[in-house]
C-alpha cells in the first residue's frame, strides 16, 4: 500500500474515533449524562484532533521526500536532498544519512566523500552519527588504505555509541583483511569474537578467523597467533550458537538490521557466516 493511501486510511480511523468519542455518550445515555461526561472525553478529543493535525503537517511537509523514497528514485532523491543540504544548509543527521545512502546506491562514492567533508566543516556531529556509511563508501570504492585510516581515527576518538564502536572496529579489521594485511586484521577479529555482545559481529569475526585469517598467516601450523585465532573462532562460534540456537533465528537477527547500509554491503559474508555457524 502506498504511503498516501496509508495517510488516508489512518486519517479516517482517527476521524471515526473522534466522532465515536464525541457522539456515543449522547446516543447511549442522553444529553443530561453527556454534560458531565464531556469533561472526561474533551481531553481525548483535543488529543485526537491535535494528532490528526500534526500528522497532516508532517506528511504534507515531507511529501516529496517520502514519495521519492517510495519510488526508489535515487538520482532524484539525491538532487532533492542536495538542495536541502547544500542550498538551504540543513545539515541534519537524517538528511545527511539519506543523501549519503542515495549516493552509495548509485555508486557515486566521490560525492559521499564530498558530503562528509562539507558536513565536517558545518556540523561534525552528523558525520559521527553516520560514520559507518562514510566508511562504507571508502570500502566500496576499493580504497582500503583510506578506509583503514578512517576507521582507525574513529576507534581512537572513543565517542561513538557502543554498538557503532564495535562495528567500526569490525570494519577496521575488515578493511585490513581486504588489503591483505591479515596480521593486522587478526587482533581486532580475535578480540571481538570473544568479547562482542552483538551476535552478528561475533559470528562474522569467528567466520573470518577460521576461514580466512588462519589460512593466510605466515606459517599457520606453528604460529602462536594461529592458535589464538583458532581458540577465538571456537569461542565466538560457541557463544553465537548458545544464544541464537539455529539458522532460522540467525536470519531473523540479520533481518532486524538488514536496512542498514553497512550491513547491506557485507550481506554476502553474513549469509556465509550463518551457514558456517549452523551447518558445520
| Domain spans of the chain, in order of start | 3-61, 156-280
As a whole number, mean pLDDT of residues 34-53 equals 62
At residue 2, the pLDDT reads: 54
- Closest C-alpha to 109, from 82, 141, 139: 141
* Range with the poorest average pLDDT among 48-62, 150-164, 235-249: 48-62
What is the pTM assigned to this prediction?
A: 0.81
**Dihedral (CA of 22, 25, 27, 32) sign:** negative
As a whole number, mean pLDDT of residues 127-150 equals 94
At residue 48, the pLDDT reads: 66
Q: In sequence order, which residues have a C-beta less than 8 Å from that of residue 147 and are 6 or more positions away?
A: 135, 138, 139, 171, 175, 178
pLDDT over threshold 70, residue 3: no
At residue 26, the pLDDT reads: 54
Give the total residue count for the chain: 280
What whole-number percentage of the chain has pLDDT above 90? 63
Give the number of other Cβ atoms within 10 Å of residue 65's Cβ: 16
Angle at 239 between CA 235 and CA 245, to 5 degrees: 135
At residue 60, the pLDDT reads: 72
pLDDT over threshold 60, residue 221: no
Task: Between 251 and 23, name the one with better pLDDT.
Answer: 251
As a whole number, mean pLDDT of residues 161-177 equals 93
**pLDDT band (50, 70, 90) for residue 1:** very low
Mean pLDDT of the residues in the chain = 85
What whole-number percentage of the chain has pLDDT above 70? 77
Q: In sequence order, which residues have a C-beta less than 8 Å from that of residue 127 and are 6 or more positions away?
A: 96, 116, 119, 120, 134
pLDDT over threshold 80, residue 46: no
pLDDT tens column, 111-127: 999 999 999 999 999 99
Query: Using a CB cutoff of 8 Å and minimum separation of 24, what contacts does 86-89 make?
Result: 86/118, 89/122
Task: Between 230 and 1, name the one with better pLDDT.
Answer: 230
Amino acid at each position: 500500500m502506498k504511503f498516501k493511501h496509508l495517510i488516508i486510511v489512518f486519517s479516517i480511523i482517527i476521524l471515526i474515533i473522534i466522532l465515536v468519542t464525541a457522539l456515543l455518550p449522547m446516543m447511549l445515555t442522553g444529553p443530561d449524562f453527556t454534560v458531565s461526561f464531556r469533561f472526561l472525553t474533551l481531553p481525548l478529543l483535543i488529543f485526537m484532533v491535535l494528532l490528526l493535525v500534526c500528522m497532516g503537517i508532517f506528511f504534507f511537509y515531507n511529501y516529496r521526500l517520502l514519495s521519492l523514497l517510495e519510488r526508489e528514485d535515487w538520482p532524484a532523491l539525491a538532487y532533492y536532498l542536495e538542495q536541502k543540504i547544500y542550498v538551504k544548509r540543513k545539515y541534519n543527521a537524517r538528511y545527511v544519512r539519506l543523501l549519503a545512502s542515495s549516493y552509495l546506491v548509485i555508486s557515486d562514492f566521490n560525492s559521499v566523500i564530498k558530503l562528509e567533508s562539507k558536513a565536517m566543516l558545518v556540523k561534525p556531529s552528523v558525520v559521527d552519527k553516520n560514520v559507518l556509511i562514510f566508511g562504507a563508501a571508502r570500502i566500496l570504492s576499493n580504497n582500503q588504505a583510506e578506509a583503514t585510516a578512517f576507521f582507525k581515527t574513529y576507534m581512537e576518538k572513543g565517542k561513538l555509541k557502543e554498538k557503532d564502536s564495535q562495528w567500526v572496529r569490525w570494519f577496521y579489521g575488515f578493511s585490513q583483511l581486504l588489503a591483505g594485511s591479515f596480521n593486522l586484521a587478526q587482533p581486532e577479529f580475535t578480540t571481538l569474537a570473544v568479547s562482542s555482545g552483538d551476535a552478528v559481529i561475533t559470528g562474522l569475526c569467528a567466520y573470518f578467523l577460521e576461514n580466512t585469517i588462519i589460512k593466510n598467516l605466515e606459517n599457520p601450523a606453528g604460529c602462536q597467533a594461529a592458535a589464538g585465532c583458532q581458540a577465538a573462532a571456537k569461542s565466538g562460534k560457541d557463544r553465537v550458537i548458545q544464544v541464537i540456537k539455529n539458522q532460522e533465528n540467525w536470519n531473523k537477527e540479520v533481518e532486524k538490521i538488514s536496512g542498514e547500509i553497512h550491513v547491506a554491503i557485507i550481506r554476502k559474508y553474513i549469509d556465509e557466516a550463518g551457514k558456517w555457524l549452523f551447518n558445520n
